[in-house]
């Protein structure tokens, strides 16, 4: 069900009043983030990476909002994701990052998808398919410049360039991927940019793409013809250590199931890992690690700094181990009327961002976003 303009609409999950958690996705902020990255990247084209179900926020609503804003090129990781996107979007260019799995070339033609070819066997299989089928659709060529994950070696690319594969394989994009663009001081960035420039000279008539979200902030030498932001669209900070230039996109509210008082010296939760240092009022909330709220985000006696929650405007600490379906919040210091059963608390809001939660859980915003649970009610806001 497509969201209706100007009205928040629940598009998936249980009804809001039954849900343990309510995930609100601000599509206007998503679009504003895309526009900001597009402005920065100019004159390069700004694509959007919507792999892993739009980084956990929902492939269809995310891609639809971006396409309406003018995004014309999308990247997914899996063929199945490309197929899903194509079903809703007949026009955009859709590249499949994980490449061509054996025997799947006909599906690329059927769905008008472009494989990102990352090895010589993939390239050969694609060329053979194009020659036998007459399919004329495009593909990207992925060349490794230092990530050592996917992509041809530069030596392979140079040998290949002499045989001009553009025509036979329909190569319309050469790309590579940064390994550490979030750290602009790392010497690998300059090395990758230099190697990518050499690569472009081998394929002078093909468009080039190097930058992910953080790569866009490395300056004009990183941007080439097309940039491929993912995580920054969804509100994570592409410039760690500096103010986040992106708007938050995700908000997570969770329901209080009960409020109880724990005497000083008693422990809260599994493992008896968090001890009350004073008589403590605890709000137990209906979200847990089965909802993707990582178990490592809870505070313990050994590590008092867990994730935060906002309860009636007050920042509170998540106390003890996070359970599968529940977590506990120390709400002792909430001023005024104590919180009550049925009240909502915020686990992600404009102050508690995905980067901060990731930091407290010992991970990165990418993992927080792509772990967001399936039991939440999801509300998509268009403005």
Ligand X SMILES: *Cc1c(COP(=O)(O)O)cnc(C)c1O
181 or 300, CB closer to ligand X? 181
> How would you classify residue 321: left for phi > 0, otherwise alpha for psi between -120 and 50, otherwise beta?
beta
Span 144-163, contacts to ligand X by CB under 6 A: none
Contacts with ligand X, 65-104, as mask; x by CB under 6 A = --------------------------------x-------
Span 176-205, contacts to ligand X by CB under 6 A: 177
95 or 108, CB closer to ligand X? 95
Report residue 82 as tokens: 């490309």
193 or 379, CB closer to ligand X? 193
Going by C-alpha positions, the residue among 315, 252, 264 that lies closest to residue 288 is 252
Span 246-305, contacts to ligand X by CB under 6 A: none
Contacts with ligand X, 205-244, as mask; x by CB under 6 A = -------xx--------------xxxxx------------
The residue sitting closest to ligand X, measured at its beta carbon, is 230
Q: Catalytic residue at 270?
A: yes
Q: How far is the CB of 94 from ligand X (least distance, A)?
A: 14
Q: How far is the CB of 63 from ligand X (least distance, A)?
A: 15
Determine if 49 is a binding residue for ligand X (CB under 6 A): yes
Ramachandran angles phi, psi of 2, nearest 5°: -75, 145
Q: How far is the CB of 367 from ligand X (least distance, A)?
A: 12
Ramachandran angles phi, psi of 21, nearest 5°: -140, 145
Active-site residue (options: 38, 234, 270, 366): 270
Active-site residue (options: 51, 95, 234, 376): 51
The strand order across the sheet containing 171-175 reads 48-49, 73-76, 93-96, 114-117, 139-142, 171-175, 207-209
Catalytic residues: 51, 270
Query: By the criterion CB under 6 A, which residues form the site for ligand X?
Result: 49, 51, 97, 177, 212-213, 228-232
């Amino acid at each position: 069900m497509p969201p209706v303009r100007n009205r928040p609409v629940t598009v998936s999950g249980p009804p809001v009043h039954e849900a343990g958690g309510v995930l609100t996705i601000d599509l206007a902020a998503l679009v504003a983030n895309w526009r900001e990255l597009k402005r920065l990247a100019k004159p390069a084209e700004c694509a959007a990476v919507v792999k892993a179900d739009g980084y956990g926020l929902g492939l269809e609503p995310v891609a639809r909002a971006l396409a309406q804003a003018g995004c014309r090129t999308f990247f997914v990781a899996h063929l199945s994701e490309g197929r899903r996107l194509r079903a809703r979007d007949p026009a955009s260019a859709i590249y499949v990052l994980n490449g061509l799995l054996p025997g799947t070339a006909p599906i690329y033609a059927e769905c008008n998808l472009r494989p990102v070819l990352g090895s010589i066997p993939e390239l050969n299989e694609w060329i053979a398919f194009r020659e036998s089928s007459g399919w004329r659709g495009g593909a990207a060529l992925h060349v490794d410049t230092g990530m050592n994950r996917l992509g041809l070696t530069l030596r392979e690319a140079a040998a290949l360039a002499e045989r001009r594969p553009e025509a036979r394989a329909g190569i319309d994009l050469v790309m590579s991927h940064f390994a550490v663009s979030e750290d602009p001081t790392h010497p690998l960035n300059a090395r990758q940019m230099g190697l990518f420039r050499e690569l472009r000279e081998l394929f002078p008539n093909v468009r080039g793409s190097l930058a992910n979200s953080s790569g866009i902030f490395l300056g004009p030498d990183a941007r080439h013809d097309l940039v491929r932001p993912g995580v920054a669209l969804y509100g994570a900070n592409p410039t760690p250590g500096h103010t986040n230039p992106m708007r938050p996109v995700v908000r997570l509210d969770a329901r209080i199931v009960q409020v109880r008082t724990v005497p000083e010296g008693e422990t809260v939760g599994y493992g008896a890992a968090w001890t009350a240092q004073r008589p403590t009022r605890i709000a137990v909330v209906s979200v847990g690690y089965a909802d993707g709220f990582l178990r490592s985000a809870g505070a313990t006696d050994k590590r008092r700094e867990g994730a935060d929650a906002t309860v009636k405007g007050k920042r509170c600490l998540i106390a003890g181990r996070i359970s599968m379906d529940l977590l506990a919040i120390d709400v002792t210091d909430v001023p005024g009327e104590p919180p009550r059963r049925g009240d909502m608390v915020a686990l992600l809001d404009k102050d508690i961002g995905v980067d901060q939660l990731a930091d407290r859980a010992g991970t990165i915003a990418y993992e927080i976003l792509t772990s967001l649970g399936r039991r939440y009610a999801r509300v998509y806001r268009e403005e």
